[in-house]
Structure 1
Amino acid sequence: MRPKPGDPLLESIPGPMPGFGSFDSYSDALIAACPKILSMPNATMGPVQAQDAQLRWRISREYCAWLYYTPDHKYEMSMLTDQSLPDDLDRRKSCVLPSVVDDRRYPADSLKYVFALHNHPYASTLSDNDIYSIVSKGLTHGFEVETRGGKVQLSVVAFFSNSNDLAKPRCDGFFQYIPLKSQLLKWSNTPTGWRCQQTGVVKWLTETEFHVEKKLVPCQSSRGDAP
């Protein structure tokens, strides 16, 4: 989904994504969303040392979607969009996630927003814009939702792949920021399962300014807040 040329950015996005399915757990939904988003055209650059990395960067795109919780106690994903902010110097990629999901099966105020999903063309950490954006979304929707399985905290997720197969890239992991915990996490898809490492803590100086304190430690539990 994207606005027509000359139109303003989309303020809502339809849901659910056809063929994606619905899930009883957010972990299963995240694992399914990763290859779905990374398989979109030019969603990943592959290894950063590739000889044609500069060309791959120019044509790469970010796609974003909401993972949301329905009154039927299911996790579903909205349609994808690749609408972005202009960057004449092509220094960064972005995807502007609409504020709300338009799922006409349910009343608008019955949906619960859980994960703001997108891809990073290469395995880069979350940007300042990612952090500001999810905090803004939290001020709109709340930073924690009640589900049948307990409370789930809002976060932003950026999937990445280091695979050389750009047509069918492997899901190698994702970066995550959880505002309520101030944690920056990196989840890696390893041969022995998902591994979580905390990479930093976001320290807010004012309502609009923050800095990241680097802190490389294992996640507090083996399960953490994702797969």
Structure 2
Amino acid sequence: MGKPYYLIDFENVRPALDRLPPGQCHVLVFTGETTKRIDVDLAFALPRFGADIQRVAISGTGSNALDFHIAFYIGHIAAREPGASFVIVSKDTGFDPLIRHLKDKGIACRRIADIPAAAGTAPATKAPPVAKKSKAMTVVVLPEPNGAAAEPVNALADERASKIVRCLKKAKRPTKTSTLATFIGATFQPAKLDAAAIKAVIASLQKAGKVAIAGTKVTYKLG
């Protein structure tokens, strides 16, 4: 079984992410479409997870909009990664019928209202990197982790790659890796994808056979 996925309902709870062990789980932080700021504690916890953490800014508003996004990502990841397990971090009991249904389908999923201290963290061998932030704390830029070039392509990167393919079919296609990276970053503004996330999208495009890279040259087979 791979690393579990923690799906954080950021509109409902503000959990202590430093209780999770970096390198041993994936973390998806779901925020509302109008969310502009994040807690300072969360901002400084994010870099510890490197490419294993992603912010998902939901599309649209409504009382259950974020819940539906979490449900979609669970289904999407479960379809691509049989055996994946999920932990929804939320006080919203509305997730419980979904969790029962997932269990009936053989998908491991549970809900917790907060991340317990028992989750623990691995002892740090060096000081964690520092998050870069704007004066208003509206943006967090995740530093590139060591060995980022070998990071696995995750389900979120695949989802982003699908959007990039759609955009490339309608736009002038970059011919170099540097301009392709710039194109990907611009496509997901104002999300501010870090270098590791952009590399993961490019790796997903290569894996799907949509792009081929030779040195700094990029060619396309978008279909």
TM-score range, shorter chain: under 0.3
Larger helix proportion, structure 1 or 2? 2
Larger strand proportion, structure 1 or 2? 1
Provide TM-score, normalisation by structure 1.
Answer: 0.26
